[in-house]
Amino acid sequence: MPLSIRECAPPAFAMRRMWRRFLAYRAGVLAAAYVLLLVLVALATPFLPGPDPRQISDEVMQAPSLAHLLGTDELGRDVLSGIIHGIEVSLTVGFAAALAATIIGVVIGAAAGYYGGALDLLVMRIAEIFQVVPSFILAAVIVALSGPGLTRVVTVIALLAWPQVARLMRGEVMRIKGLEFVDAVRCLGVREPVILATEVVPNALAPVLAAGTLIVAQAILLEAALSFLGLSSADLVSWGRMLNSGQRFLYNAWWLSVFPGSAIFLTVLAFNLLGDAIGVALNPRTEA
């Protein structure tokens, strides 16, 4: 029985093709550039000129002007400075939550897919429970009960997002464990857990990368939503927090809502597009 080895393509030359498919997805390239810019600005934030985002001044509720490009809020704080400093929180939460969810999902999905049977049944039912629970409400309840804090937010988001990765990983592992190269290694007398870790998982990781990027977007959005509801620490500069204080002045100071809102919108959009682009790049059937 000849077995297909789709998506198990050899690394070096598959890489070149992947890169071509990625470049052909224009929106994804744009999104990647935007994400790169965000990361650079976040890293450079301590060295940038401009006022401290927490600095109170007499120039309250100023509309955008040359002195304050994006205006000031009710305490005279600079909105642009707030947005720049807010990148750090969004990206930290986004990346940390996505990384945690991916690690949990990869381990659980790989074990379920490889060993199957009762373990698979149990783990996948647990994953379903997490997936049917309305995640925002659960997150809000947990944070409201346990108190704000970035670590808590990251933990909650990771706990809610791992099933997406686990399902994907499980499917990939189930496909790859049936390929002949795995049987060939089994005939060398290599132990099953070693086969899983060194032969199967490395070949199954590619699609997980795309899912992980999408989780970054979900995490950023969820953090912003929690902060908007006031469920984040008050001394943290975050986009959701800015929206939370700005929405009271929506009719007389639109800039307090529009700019942080746009920052959230663009960033979530960018990570979604980037995730799509990675998915397209990794799928050999979408030929560029």
Partner 1 sequence: MGAPLLSLRGITHGFRRSGGALVTAVRDVSLEVGEGETVALVGESGSGKSTLGRIALGLIRPDTGRVFIAGRTLGEMSSGELRRARVAFQPIFQDATASLNPRRTVRDLLGQALRQRGADSIAELRIDLLESVGLRPGRVYLERYPHELSGGQRQRLAIARALAMQPRLIVADEPLSGADVSIRGQILNLLSDLKKERGLAYLMITHDISIARAFADRVAVMSQGQVVEQGPAAEVLTRPAQDYTKRLLAAVPELR
Site membership for partner 1, residue 8 (CB under 8 A): yes
> Contact with partner 1 (CB under 8 A): which of 190, 236, 258, 269?
190
For residues 11 and 46, which CB has a smaller minimum distance to partner 1 in the complex?
A: 11
CB of 104 to partner 1, least distance (A): 24
Q: Is 87 left (phi over 0), alpha (psi -120 to 50) or beta?
A: alpha
**Identified binder of partner 1 from the candidate list 10, 49, 117, 134, rule CB under 8 A:** 10
Tokens of 155: 């933990």
- The Cα 26–Cα 280 span in angstroms is 12
Q: How many CA atoms lie within 13 A of 209 on its CB side?
A: 15
User: Is 181 one of the binding residues for partner 1 (CB under 8 A)?
Assistant: yes
3 state SS for 140-161:
HHHHHHHCCCHHHHHHHHHHHH
Under the criterion CB under 8 A, does residue 117 sit at the interface with partner 1? Answer: no
Which residues are CB-neighbours of 160 under 8 A, at least 6 positions away?
101, 130, 133, 135, 138, 139, 222
Binding status of residue 203 toward partner 1 by CB under 8 A: yes
Which member of 191, 235, 251, 285 binds partner 1 (CB under 8 A)? Answer: 191
Among 117, 187, 235, 285, binds partner 1 (CB under 8 A): 187
| Part in contact with partner 1 (CB under 8 A); list of ranges 135-143, 199-207, 218-226, 236-244 | 199-207
**Nearer residue to partner 1 within complex by CB, 5 or 140:** 5
Is residue 16 within the footprint of partner 1 (CB under 8 A)? no
Query: Where do the H-state alpha helices sit in 116-236?
Result: 117-132, 135-146, 150-176, 180-186, 192-195, 201-228
Rounded to the nearest whole angstrom, what is the least distance from the CB of residue 2 to partner 1 in the complex?
5
Closer residue to partner 1, CB minimum distance, 49 or 189:
189
Residue 174 binds partner 1 (CB under 8 A): no
**Secondary element (H or E) of residue 14:** helix 11-24
Residue closer to partner 1 by CB (options 4, 151) is: 4
Residue 272 to residue 263: CA distance in whole angstroms? 14
Q: Are 28 and 277 in contact (CB under 8 A)?
A: yes
Residue 12 is a binding residue for partner 1 (CB under 8 A): yes
Task: Show Cβ contacts of residue 21 under 8 Å, excluding neighbours closer than 6 positions.
Answer: 280, 281, 283, 286, 287, 288
- Where on the phi/psi map is residue 77: left (φ > 0), alpha (ψ -120 to 50), or beta? beta
Among 69, 99, 179, 258, binds partner 1 (CB under 8 A): 179
Phi-psi region of 71 (alpha: psi -120 to 50; beta: other; left: phi over 0): left
Residue selected from 183, 248, 252, 265 as contacting partner 1 according to rule CB under 8 A: 183
Give the range of 87-95, 120-128, 146-154, 184-192 binding partner 1 by CB under 8 A.
184-192
Minimum Å distance from CB 6 to partner 1?
11
The residue count for binding partner 1 (CB under 8 A) is: 26
Interface residues toward partner 1, by CB under 8 A: 1-5, 8-13, 179-181, 183-191, 199, 202-203
